[in-house]
Amino acid sequence: MSESNGNSKKRNVGDQDLGLYFLEACRDREMKEEGMEEEEEAPRELNTINSSGGFVVVSTDKLSVKYTSVNLHGHDVGVIQANKPAPTKRLIYYFEIHVKDAGVKGQIAIGFTSETFKMRRQPGWEANSCGYHGDDGLLYHGHGKGEAFGPTFTSGDVVGAGINFAAQEFFFTKNGQVVGSVNKDMKGPLFPTVAVHSQNEEVHVNFGQKPFTFDLKEFEAQERMKQQLKIEEISVPPNVSYGIVRSYLLHYGYEDTLKSFDVASESTVPPIYIAQENRSHEQEITYALNHRKTLRQLIRNGDIDTAFDKLREWYPQIVEDNTSATCFLLHCQKFIELVRVGALEEAVKYGRIELTCFFGLPVFEDLVQDCVALLAYEQPLESSVGYLLKDSQREVVADTVNAMILSTNPNVKESKHCLHSYLERLLRQLTACCLERRLLNGEQGEAFQLPRVLSSSKRGSC
């Protein structure tokens, strides 16, 4: 008896964890509907405090700079940095200058410098800096001797400087065309920098507030394509995608789709053959397939009462604890469905009976409050808690029930394995690898984001 007690207790703990996982998932969803990374702060204006005072005048919008004195030597350059370093968690950082007036000598430069850069020297002349100079078209990269690079630039030209974090390169543009690139061997924060060094030289800086002359989007697309071409050379075992799709359908109990998929892949020429060893693992997820399908349908149709009935009949252990996360999610859903059909009085009544006991409990509180908040709006779908009325909320509840049923399979050793399909595990691994690599790379480069991959479509080149 003690043994069975221990068993049931252990299962309980596991079950709780599973339900809570989905509860968290639905809170995350609410906070980040788009699932995108938060943007880093990017430079927006010139830094007027840390500049070579005396030689230059910065306009009031902090986007123009003019050399007003007469230059005498190499240590009276008018240098000015952006107010923020270039953000690194992206593929490319880029900014542009428009040369309004090349002044007496046209000694204008654009580039990147470190935070401690000597503000009276041209970018590129000193260590940890890099600059493309207008008077000679040379690239200066850490010392006073430039290397052949590109054309000179002067009044009327638009010149750009960028960092390609994937290739670890600086690149420069003139009037919308790439001039060239150079290896980026500097670490740490890099500030967009411009320099003017003869009387009346004046440049205007564009940090992206206005459209760039250079087609940055196209450049980014090309850079991604370069990487993609390398990746496409890798080979994966044939039909592995079929197996992954099939196990996904199995995992989530999309039974009708699965049956149709099996029929279709048999009639494909040549027939799709999924290796036998994968099938053996499948037994675990074939478990209760029809029950899982039925419950998913009920929940997707908003018929929570019947879902509860079926669960009580088939898997009483899942709903026996009325305060479990799974029951909580189902009760919330019932409440949401009542709001959806406008049965507000009934919703209030239901909430009083089934939801009040969750108030004040840290993990449950957010969702209860959001549910109740639905009552406050005439147009709840348009409100900040409108996410609850979307199909995706039903899906989360259906996924919770699905995982709970999978975990009742006596062959499942660790219930956490019921949470994720193979597809999800692979995508998590992919994301984690990319994030970790970026972390070890000084947070440089863009992260993998499934939504971006999904919305991008390769150009129709064939």
Contacting other proteins (CB under 8 A), which of 40, 135, 434, 443?
434
Assess contact for 273 and 239: CB atoms under 8 A: yes
Q: Give every CB contact of residue 68 below 8 A, 6+ residues apart in sequence.
A: 55, 56, 57, 199, 200
Shortest Cβ distance from residue 166 to other proteins (Å)?
A: 11
| Ranges within 40-99 binding other proteins (CB under 8 A) | none
Q: Is 426 in the site for other proteins (CB under 8 A)?
A: yes
d(CA 158, CA 108): 12
Question: How far is Cα 169 from Cα 402, in angstroms, rounded to an integer?
Answer: 48
Q: Residue 186, interface with other proteins (CB under 8 A)?
A: no
Angstrom distance (rounded) from CA 103 to CA 117:
24
Question: If you write DSSP's letter for every residue of 273-327 in order, what string do you get?
Answer: ---HHHHHHHHHHHTTHHHHHHHHHHHHTT-HHHHHHHHHHH-HHHHSSTTSHHH
Given the structure tokens 């005396």, which residue do they identify?
Answer: 54
Number of residues near other proteins (by CB under 8 A): 74
Minimum distance of other proteins from residue 88's CB (angstroms): 17
413 binds other proteins (CB under 8 A): no
Q: Assess contact for 54 and 187: CB atoms under 8 A.
A: no
Closer CB to other proteins, 245 or 412, in the complex: 245
Among residues 1, 6, 129, which one has the least CA distance to residue 77?
Answer: 129
Handedness of CA 452, 97, 212, 459 (dihedral sign): negative
List 8, 143, 424, 442, residue binding other proteins (CB under 8 A)? 424
Q: How far is the CB of 444 from other proteins (least distance, A)?
A: 13
Cβ distance to other proteins smaller for residue 63 or 304:
304
- Using the 8-state DSSP alphabet, how is residue 134 labeled? T
Tell the smallest beta-carbon distance from residue 256 to other proteins (Å): 5
Nearest distance, CB of residue 80 and other proteins, angstroms: 36
Look at residues 71, 139, 93, 85 and name the one whose alpha carbon lies nearest to residue 116. Answer: 85
Could you tell me which stretch among 179-187, 215-223, 342-350, 433-441 binds other proteins (CB under 8 A)? 433-441
Nearest distance, CB of residue 136 and other proteins, angstroms? 39
Alpha carbon distance 349, 61 (integer Å): 58
DSSP string, 183-220: E----S--EEEEEE-STTEEEEEESSSS--SS-HHHHH
Smaller CB separation from other proteins, 28 or 136: 28
Among 266, 342, 437, 442, binds other proteins (CB under 8 A): 437
CB of 347 to other proteins, least distance (A): 23
Contact pattern from residue 374 through residue 403 relative to other proteins, giving x for each residue in contact according to CB under 8 A and a dash for the rest: -----------------xx--xx--x----
* Contacting residue, 4, 5, 237, 271, with other proteins by CB under 8 A: 237
Question: Among the candidate windows 142-150, 176-184, 208-216, 435-443, which touches other proteins by CB under 8 A?
Answer: 435-443
CA 6/CA 203 separation, integer angstroms: 76
Nearest residue (CB) to other proteins, 145 versus 279: 279
CB of 301 vs other proteins, minimal distance in Å: 11
For residue 445, state whether it binds other proteins (rule: CB under 8 A): no
Q: In terms of DSSP H, where are the helices of 95-239?
A: 216-232
| Piece of the chain touching other proteins by CB under 8 A; list 93-101, 251-259, 329-337, 343-351 | 251-259
Part of the chain binding other proteins (CB under 8 A), chosen from 96-104, 153-161, 349-357, 445-453: 445-453
Tokens read off for 299: 């929940």
The H or E element that residue 99 is part of is strand 92-102
Binding mask 261-300 for other proteins (x = CB under 8 A): x-xxx---xx----x-xx--x-----------x--xx--x
How near is the Cβ of 16 to other proteins at its closest, in Å?
A: 16
- Cα dihedral 255→259→262→265 (10° resolution): -110
Q: Which is nearer to other proteins, 77 or 250 (CB)?
A: 250
The least distance separating other proteins from the CB of residue 234, rounded to whole angstroms, comes to 4
Q: How many residues does the chain have?
A: 462
CB of 244 to other proteins, least distance (A): 7
Q: Which of 16, 152, 206, 431 binds other proteins (CB under 8 A)?
A: 431
- Using rule CB under 8 A, residue 157 touches other proteins: no
Query: Any idea what the Cα angle at residue 138 is, between residues 95 and 125, rounded to 5°?
Result: 80
- Candidate list 150, 192, 243, 380; residue touching other proteins; CB under 8 A: 243
Tokens of 216: 């940055």
Report the Cα 382 to chain-centroid distance in Å: 25
Q: Residue 70 has what DSSP assignment? A: -
Query: In the window 318-357, what residues touch other proteins (CB under 8 A)?
Result: none
Residue window 10-39: x/- pattern of binding to other proteins, with contact defined by CB under 8 A: ---------------x--xx--x--x----
Which of left, alpha, beta for 342 (phi over 0: left; psi -120 to 50: alpha)? left
